[in-house]
Chain A
């Protein structure tokens, strides 16, 4: 039974984290939670299927998987179904959100939360200023 981490594409939802940064975040999470990492899995860029992990699972019997964020879970329903089917017994840890759990209900709640956040509007902080942000709020109330 192995404890694994997985790196993915640099673009993770709203975050942009290079793979060495992802490793730093996951290693720190593991250290804080007394988890010893035995396997480091690189998923390919431009993919959020977590297919490599599922393929490796047959040989490595992963018991705990650390990811940086819930945004690294698959989006497409068929990929979600595969994940739930193949990885429902693995304990997932999401370092940035600081949450962990196991089973179909937990994974579905994480996927639901991603959808809630993906539906939210985001102000592009590269194209604004403090005074513009202040003015933006003046119309409310």
Chain B
């Protein structure tokens, strides 16, 4: 099944190889430069992840502040996957003004992202999300995805009960296995696919980035200039 069909009538998500891996490697290099902790570590992502795994929440927050200067992250992710994005949305886009980098530290009491739909933030139902790790994902530090058939059934059942992201959704977190991926792979999913991540045990932190985008010709929902900007693929 091709990716477009997978996103609309299939599982609602798909793992794919990043087309312009050179741009994505530059993205990772920019990330390493901007976090500014690597004097003795060089650009070895494994060593950086190992150091991050032992950092306090305050130290991680300091890194996140440093990453506020990563102004071209959205464009770098988009330009890493131009053919796929163009096939889904055309070349005129609304893209996230500031894409996210996410650092997940292993261990109990550390970050977990409970099960949720991207739509909950008010992005358009016509949006897509690309999520990519900056390294191989060989442990349980990745993200789990629940196929859109089940996701939409839960959504409709909750809606009948007057709920959104209620206990049925939140409790899904307990039974999930994150998707394993290689560096150079990304996952694309639609905003109705439930997903999240679990706490995990590892020597390494997990580092990933993601961006939301949609066709300029599709309607917006609640997100506007506060979150999106116009972008034309070249």
Contact = CB atoms under 8 A, between A and B. Distances in A.
A131 B164 CA distance: 11
Nearest to B98: A98
B122 interface: yes
B159 A131 contact: yes
Contacts of A116: 216, 230
Interface string A88-120: 000000001110000000000000011011001
A134 interface: yes
A141 B8 CA distance: 6
Contact of A121 (B159, B220, B230): B220
B94 interface: yes
B26 interface: no
Interface in B213-234: 216, 218-222, 224-226, 228-230
A120 B219 contact: yes
A42 to B, nearest CB: 22
A121 B122 CA distance: 15
A122 interface: yes
Interface residues of B, number: 32
B220 A114 contact: no
B230 A113 contact: yes
A15 to B, nearest CB: 7
A140 B126 CA distance: 9
A117 B224 contact: yes
A137 B224 contact: no
A133 B218 CA distance: 13
Given A15-B224, A69-B226, A130-B159, A137 B219 contact: no
Interface residues of B, dominant DSSP: loop
B8 A138 contact: yes
Nearest to B214: A120
A97 B225 CA distance: 6
A136 B125 contact: yes
Contacts of A134: 125, 152, 155, 192
A46 interface: no
B214 to A, nearest CB: 10
A129 to B, nearest CB: 6
A18 interface: no
A29 interface: no
A71 B126 CA distance: 24
A123 B119 CA distance: 13
B8 A123 contact: no
Given A130-B119, A134-B125, A140-B126, A123 B224 contact: no
Given A123-B124, A125-B122, A141-B9, A117 B152 contact: no
Interface of A: 13-15, 69-71, 96-98, 113-114, 116-117, 120-123, 125, 129-131, 133-134, 136-138, 140-141
Interface of B: 4-5, 7-9, 94, 97-98, 119, 122, 124-126, 152, 155-156, 159, 164, 190, 192, 216, 218-222, 224-226, 228-230
16 contacts: A13-B224, A69-B225, A69-B226, A96-B225, A97-B97, A97-B226, A117-B225, A122-B224, A125-B122, A129-B159, A131-B152, A134-B125, A137-B8, A138-B8, A141-B7, A141-B9
- List the 8 closest A-B pairs by CB distance, nearest first: A141-B8, A121-B219, A133-B125, A96-B226, A116-B230, A14-B224, A123-B219, A137-B125
